[in-house]
A = this chain, B = another copy of it.
Amino acid sequence: MTRLELNILGCGSATMTPRHQPSCQVLNVRDNLMMIDCGEGAQLSARIMRIKLMRMNHIFISHLHGDHCFGLPGMISTMALLNRTASLTIHTFKDGAALFSQILDYFCRERPFEVRFNIIDTHKRVIHEDSAVTVTTFPLVHRVPAVGFLIQEKPKLRHIIGEEVNRLGIPHYAISALQHGEDWVTPEGIVIPNRQLTTDADPAISYAYCSDTKFSKRVIRNVEGVDWLYHEATYDDSLRIKARKRYHSTALEAATVAREAGVKQLILGHYSKRYLDETPLLDEARTIFPNTRLANEGLVIDLNQP
């Protein structure tokens, strides 16, 4: 299995508490790290979780509320102090790019690496693609422009059956074609079907991040069928009216999204500071979607095991 891990650095809501940090996650895709949101204190949480900031080349900011981005200047300053040289791309709305580039140009002028801004908007759009994944934005429903992120692994290669390939004397240069599913044709013209030479590839995993948002049918459509869904659950359902007013969701609504979208696993987060124990949120969600778990600071989830 290729590594695909979700690290929860922060899953609280706007007010910092000793129990929860503001929003921040790091997705480890085969040891390339991508950060999603960067609340105040992200750099410290990363250090405590032994997350290698130097292996992080992309940061995705869901929306411009402080609890989702105030950790950026400090973290980037620390990267500069640690003599990072690789460029870093921050995917954010236009206003965020303007404000943060100004802050960085003042406080972190002499950084030995380039900070690039990739301007996003609320359209559904592929905003990043590399050899392992694509990252697609889709609109959320919040007080300010906000997007969810859908991270999809690309189809993986089929596994070679070494013994068989050796027995037939298939040359190295042909291996890649086999991994992609092609048959092998011997010099004598005999076709060896791929299924005799390979086993199925590992499944390509998908993960969707939805925070902050009101319950929305459009969100359901956009996360349809994902393996893993992180959905905010700021409140329990007794506070549904407050949730709507503040453009947040309840645990039951998060579970409804998960169920209607047919996802495999749901992770709850972005808890209101009022909860000293989030078990009631978990219980509430599980009444309609059993495969639910709670995010918590320090949690590392192996996304290969949905």
Chain A interfacial positions (CB closer than 8 Å to B): 14-18, 22, 40-41, 43-44, 47-48, 64-67, 70-71, 73-74, 77-78, 81-82, 95, 99, 102-103, 106-108
One of B14, B47, B74 near A77 (C-beta < 8 A): B14
Given A40-B40, A40-B41, A41-B40, CB of A74 within 8 Å of CB of B106 = no
A64 to B16, Cβ gap below 8 A?
no
Main secondary structure of the interface of A (DSSP, over half): helix
Question: How far is B40's CA from A48's CA once the two chains are assembled, in angstroms?
Answer: 16
Contacts of A67 in B (CB 8 A): 74, 77
A48 to B81, Cβ gap below 8 A?
no
CB distance from A53 to the nearest CB of B (A): 11
A40 to B74, Cβ gap below 8 A?
yes
Given A18-B44, A81-B14, CB of A66 within 8 Å of CB of B108 = yes
CB distance from A69 to the nearest CB of B (A): 8
Q: With CB as the reference atom, state the residue of chain B lying closest to A72.
A: B70
One of B48, B64, B102 near A99 (C-beta < 8 A): B102
With A16-B74, A64-B106 given, can you name 20 additional A-B contacts, CB distance below 8 Å? A14-B78, A14-B81, A16-B43, A16-B44, A18-B48, A40-B41, A40-B43, A41-B41, A41-B44, A64-B107, A66-B73, A66-B74, A70-B73, A70-B74, A70-B77, A70-B107, A95-B106, A99-B103, A99-B106, A103-B103
